[in-house]
Chains A and B, each alone.
Chain A
Amino acid sequence: DADVTQTPRNRITKTGKRIMLECSQTKGHDRMYWYRQDPGLGLQLIYYSFDVKDINKGEISDGYSVSRQAQAKFSLSLESAIPNQTALYFCATSDSNRAPLHFGNGTRLTVT
């Protein structure tokens, strides 16, 4: 089983719909992150969390919200999806700010 699991793997939704992307991890890491990947732009940080009470905005948080339900679970919501949120979304974990990120397999989201 994967250490960092994202669900769903693929999602197609319509403009204006609310959707949630889920992430769970078995690595025991405190730090969890949501990144977005667009072609030609690398990855950009949306939100990150140190624990259930500590959630921080990243560089492109507008239009997104997150919830850290437990140390192992970190979900990303799009309150009202728009087409330019079509992207590949990654959840990642880390055990320190010196350590590499461990990524999930990604969720490919298409907003029509």
Chain B
Amino acid sequence: AQKITQTQPGMFVQEKEAVTLDCTYDTSDQSYGLFWYKQPSSGEMIFLIYQGSYDEQNATEGRYSLNFQKARKSANLVISASQLGDSAMYFCAMREGPFFISNFGNEKLTFGTGTRLTIIP
């Protein structure tokens, strides 16, 4: 089974609208971390937001928020008031714990296949 599933290969959204990018994950660990990265057409990977499995509040960073539903194993990224510069590939990723020890499982960041977001002016 895929560890990280992003079911939307591509999305088109009107500028200034909010957009939700879906991410579901599969793990049997109680301790894990979820990350979202943005990859513009220039190719670099930009960290956006992090959610720990034990965090009680949904993470927010400026216009980005993470809709974390632990029981459903989903960690959707919400971008409010989208801008043309938001057009990019977006990747959801997971690290599995426990984090107080270090092993391959919790060093490896497992990525989904990404969602290409296009903002329409």
* B106 and A106 within 8 A (CB): no
Known: A50-B102, A97-B95, A98-B99. A45 touches B47 (CB 8 A): no
Q: B18 CB to closest chain A CB, in angstroms?
A: 24
Q: Does A111 sit within 8 A of B, measured CB to CB?
A: no
Write the chain B residue with the least CB distance to A108: B43
Given contacts A40-B113, A50-B102, A97-B99, contact A102 B47 (CB under 8 A): yes
Contact B111 A101 (CB under 8 A): no
Q: How far is the CB of B7 from chain A (nearest CB, A)?
A: 14
CB of A103 within 8 A of CB of B114, answer no
Q: How many A residues touch B, CB cutoff 8 Å?
A: 27
A100 to B46: give the CA distance in the assembly, Å. 10
14 chain-A/chain-B pairs, Cβ below 8 angstroms: A40-B113, A41-B113, A42-B114, A43-B111, A45-B109, A48-B107, A56-B107, A88-B43, A97-B95, A98-B95, A98-B99, A100-B50, A105-B43, A106-B43
A31 at the A/B interface (Cβ < 8 Å)?
Answer: yes
Which chain A positions have C-beta within 8 A of B95? 97-98
**Interface residue tally on B, bucketed by range:** 20 to 34
Considering only residues 32-56 of chain B, those with a C-beta below 8 Å from chain A are 33, 35, 37, 42-47, 50, 52
Inter-subunit contact A97/B91 (CB<8 Å): no
Bound-complex Cα distance A106 to B112 (A)? 18
A41 CA / B95 CA spacing, docked (Å) = 17
| A97-B102, A97-B107, A100-B35 known; A90+B45 contact, CB < 8 A | yes
Distance in angstroms between the alpha carbons of A1 and B45 in the assembled complex: 16
In the bound complex, residues from chain B placing their C-beta under 8 Å from that of A59 are 108
